[in-house]
Amino acid sequence: MQHPPLDSIRNIGIISHIDAGKTTVSERILFYTGESHRIGEVHDGEAVMDWMPQEQERGITITSTATVCRWGGCRINLIDTPGHIDFTIEVERSLRVLDGAVAVFSAVEGVQPQSESVWRQADRYRVPRICFINKMDRVGADYRETIRQIEEKLGARPVLLQIPSGAEASFAGVVDLIAEEFLTFSEADQGRIVERHPIPAEIAEEARAARETMIEAAADFDDAILADFLEGAPITPERIRGALRKGTIACRIFPVFMGTALRNKGIQPLLDAVAAYLPSPRDVPPVIGQRPESDIVDTLLCDPAGPLCALAYKVQSDEGRKLSYLRIYSGTVKAGGALWNSTRGCFEKAARLFRMHAHKREQIDEALAGDIVAVAGLKEVLTGDTLCNPTHKVILEGLTVPEPVVALAVEPKGVDDRDKLLPALEKLQWEDPTFRVHEDEETGQTILTGMGELHLEVVTDRLEREFGVQVKTGRPQVVYRETITRPAERQEVFRTEFEGKVQGGEVHLRLTPLHRGDGVRIVVPPAEVLGITRELHSAITDSLTRGSSTGCVTGYPLTDLEVRVTAVPTEPGITTETGVRAAAGRGLMHTARDAAPTLLEPLMNLEIITPGEYAGKVLGSVQQKRGRVEGIVSQGSTEVIRALVPLSEMFGYMTELRSATKGRGSFTMEFSRFDQAPVAVLQQFGLG
Ligand SMILES: Nc1nc2c(ncn2[C@@H]2O[C@H](COP(=O)(O)OP(=O)(O)OP(=O)(O)O)[C@@H](O)[C@H]2O)c(=O)[nH]1
DSSP codes, 443-483: T--EEEEESSHHHHHHHHHHHHHHH---EEE---EE--EEE
**Looking at residue 107, what is its pLDDT?**
94
At residue 575, φ and ψ (nearest 5 deg) are -70, 125
Q: What H or E segment, with its residue span, contains residue 488?
A: strand 488-498
Concatenated DSSP letters of 505-535: EEEEEEEEE--TT--EEEE---HHHHT--HH
**35-49, 108-122, 135-149, 191-205: which has the minimum mean pLDDT?**
35-49
Higher pLDDT, 391 or 622: 622
Ramachandran bin of 266, using left for φ above 0, alpha for ψ from -120 to 50, beta for the remaining angles: left
**381-385, 406-410, 471-475, 497-501: which has the minimum mean pLDDT?**
497-501
What ligand 1 atom has the least distance to the C-alpha of 84? Answer: 25
* Spatial separation of the C-alpha atoms in residues 141 and 524, rounded to whole Å: 55
Q: Hey, which residues does 482 pair with through a beta bridge?
A: 558, 599
404 CB within 6 A, ligand 1 = no
Q: 97 and 66 in contact (C-beta within 8 Å)? A: no
The predicted-structure confidence for 175-234, as pLDDT tens digits, reads as follows 999 999 999 998 877 878 889 999 999 999 999 999 999 999 999 999 888 888 888 888
The predicted-structure confidence for 382-395, as pLDDT tens digits, reads as follows 888 899 988 888 88
**Looking at residue 113, what is its pLDDT?**
74
Angle between helices 453-467 and 415-431 (to 10 degrees): 120
Please compute the mean of the pLDDT values over residues 288-308 and round it to a whole number.
76
Residue 135 annotated in ligand binding: yes
Please compute the mean of the pLDDT values over residues 549-562 and round it to a whole number.
84
The predicted-structure confidence for 630-650, as pLDDT tens digits, reads as follows 989 887 778 889 999 999 898
Residue 136 annotated in ligand binding: yes
Instruction: Centre a 10 Å sphere on the Cβ of residue 610 and count the other Cβ atoms it contains.
Output: 22
* Spatial separation of the C-alpha atoms in residues 97 and 363, rounded to whole Å: 22
Instruction: Centre a 10 Å sphere on the Cβ of residue 104 and count the other Cβ atoms it contains.
Output: 26
**Looking at residue 591, what is its pLDDT?**
95
219 CB within 6 A, ligand 1 = no
pLDDT at residue 52 is higher than 80: no
391 Cα: distance to centroid of ligand 1 (angstroms): 48
Residue 525 annotated in ligand binding: no
Residue 625 annotated in ligand binding: no
CB-based burial label for 70 (10 Å; 0-12, 13-18, 19+): middle
**Looking at residue 190, what is its pLDDT?**
81
Using CA atoms, how far residue 459 sits from 118, 404, 450, in Å, is: 23, 14, 9
21 Cα: distance to centroid of ligand 1 (angstroms): 3
20 Cα: distance to centroid of ligand 1 (angstroms): 5
In this structure, which residue's CA is closest to atom 23 in ligand 1? 61
pLDDT at residue 440 is higher than 80: no
Q: 618 and 660 in contact (C-beta within 8 Å)? A: yes
Q: 645 and 603 in contact (C-beta within 8 Å)? A: yes
Does this model's pTM top 0.90? My answer is no
Q: Is 590 helix (H, G, I), strand (E, B) or coil?
A: helix
Residue 16 annotated in ligand binding: yes
CB-based burial label for 515 (10 Å; 0-12, 13-18, 19+): exposed
Mutate to test the pocket of ligand 1, among 16, 18, 23, 133 (most ligand atoms within 8 A of CB): 23
What ligand 1 atom has the least distance to the C-alpha of 134? Answer: 31
**Looking at residue 84, what is its pLDDT?**
67
Instruction: Centre a 10 Å sphere on the Cβ of residue 572 and count the other Cβ atoms it contains.
Output: 5
User: Beta strand 181-185 with 173-176: parallel, antiparallel or unpaired?
Assistant: antiparallel
* Spatial separation of the C-alpha atoms in residues 416 and 547, rounded to whole Å: 35
162 CB within 6 A, ligand 1 = no
43 CB within 6 A, ligand 1 = yes
pLDDT at residue 524 is higher than 90: yes
pLDDT at residue 582 is higher than 90: yes
% of the chain with per-residue pLDDT over 70: 93
pLDDT at residue 300 is higher than 90: no
At residue 539, φ and ψ (nearest 5 deg) are -65, -40
259 Cα: distance to centroid of ligand 1 (angstroms): 13
Question: Does the structure's ipTM exceed the value 0.90?
Answer: yes
Q: Where are the alpha helices (DSSP H) in 183-233?
A: 201-219, 223-231
Please compute the mean of the pLDDT values over residues 516-523 and round it to a whole number.
90
**139-148, 340-349, 679-688: which has the minimum mean pLDDT?**
679-688
18 Cα: distance to centroid of ligand 1 (angstroms): 8
pLDDT-derived band at 85, boundaries 50, 70, 90 = low
What ligand 1 atom has the least distance to the C-alpha of 80? Answer: 20
**Looking at residue 253, what is its pLDDT?**
96
* Spatial separation of the C-alpha atoms in residues 180 and 64, rounded to whole Å: 37
Q: What H or E segment, with its residue span, contains residue 634?
A: strand 628-635
pLDDT-derived band at 49, boundaries 50, 70, 90 = low
* Spatial separation of the C-alpha atoms in residues 201 and 544, rounded to whole Å: 70
What ligand 1 atom has the least distance to the C-alpha of 20? Answer: 19
Mutate to test the pocket of ligand 1, among 14, 18, 24 (most ligand atoms within 8 A of CB): 24
* Spatial separation of the C-alpha atoms in residues 147 and 129, rounded to whole Å: 14
Residue 14 annotated in ligand binding: no
* Spatial separation of the C-alpha atoms in residues 66 and 653, rounded to whole Å: 32
59 Cα: distance to centroid of ligand 1 (angstroms): 9
Report the sign of the C-alpha dihedral through residues 586, 588, 589, 594, in that order.
positive
Q: 73 and 275 in contact (C-beta within 8 Å)? A: yes
pLDDT at residue 287 is higher than 60: yes
* Spatial separation of the C-alpha atoms in residues 61 and 182, rounded to whole Å: 34
CB-based burial label for 485 (10 Å; 0-12, 13-18, 19+): exposed
pLDDT at residue 41 is higher than 80: no
